[in-house]
């Protein structure tokens, strides 16, 4: 039930606007989809509770408040996760592996666009986002500087984004440089 100053419609609007941002924050800092989803629920519940209690008065402050809550709760979740990892390592409990959510339509397009990139750009993106190597580590591996890696990486991702955007607009038809089909 909504009380002081908030109505269900406003709470829905709050959720619509901020849930994706909290989820991104969770993915960045917790590196786990389920943990990021949990964070969204926890943070938005706290925010709605505070709004109902009239503790957040200025609408311009709501973003900062939600970010602050995200930081606090993610930090606590992160500490718990690190403790679980330590215990898992100590007692040799096997990690459960969850299959990633399939989004086959987009994956097909991303796969094709990825293979249209120059070989070094493709390798750079895979090393960054899949292997999660830092730019100095990649720089050592490719024999270039960290600055070169960062510039090449954002240009490569920009090209990938443009290619995907075009293909999504044209029904996903595109050739590729790599394996012939």
Q: Which residues bind another protein (CB under 8 A)?
A: 13-14, 17-18, 20-21, 24-25, 27-28, 59-60, 62-64, 66-67, 97, 100, 103, 106-107, 110-111, 114-115, 118-120, 122-123, 125-135, 141-143, 150-151, 153-154, 157-158, 160-161, 164, 177-181
Describe the crossing of helices 104-114 and 146-169 by its angle, rounded to 10 degrees: 130
Our CB check for another protein shows the closer of 45 and 126 to be: 126
What are the CA-CA distances from residue 149 to residues 38, 54, 108, 113, 162 (Å)? 34, 48, 26, 20, 20
- Least separation in angstroms between residue 119's CB and another protein is 5
Our CB check for another protein shows the closer of 91 and 97 to be: 97
State both tokens at 161: 């984004």
Q: What is the DSSP string of 56-76?
A: ---GGGHHHHHHHHHHHHHHH
Place of tokens 């849930």: 19
| 3-state class (DSSP) for residue 157 | helix
State both tokens at 15: 């959720």
- Least separation in angstroms between residue 87's CB and another protein is 20
- Least separation in angstroms between residue 136's CB and another protein is 9
- Least separation in angstroms between residue 131's CB and another protein is 5
């Amino acid at each position: 039930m909504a009380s002081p100053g908030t109505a269900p419609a406003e709470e829905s609007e709050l959720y619509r606007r901020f849930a994706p941002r909290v989820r991104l924050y969770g993915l960045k800092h917790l590196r786990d989809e389920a943990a990021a989803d949990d964070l969204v629920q926890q943070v938005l519940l706290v925010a709605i509770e505070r709004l109902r209690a009239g503790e957040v008065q200025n609408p311009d402050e709501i973003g900062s408040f939600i970010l602050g809550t995200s930081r606090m709760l993610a930090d606590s979740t992160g500490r718990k996760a690190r403790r679980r990892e330590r215990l898992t390592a100590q007692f040799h409990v096997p990690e459960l592996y969850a299959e990633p959510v399939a989004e086959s339509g987009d994956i097909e397009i991303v796969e094709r666009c990825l293979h249209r990139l120059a070989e070094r750009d493709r390798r750079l993106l895979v090393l960054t986002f899949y292997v999660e190597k830092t730019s100095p580590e990649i720089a050592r591996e490719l024999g270039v500087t960290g600055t070169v890696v960062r510039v090449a990486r954002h240009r490569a991702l920009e090209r990938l984004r443009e290619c995907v955007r075009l293909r999504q607009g044209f029904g996903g038809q595109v050739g590729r440089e790599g394996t012939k089909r």
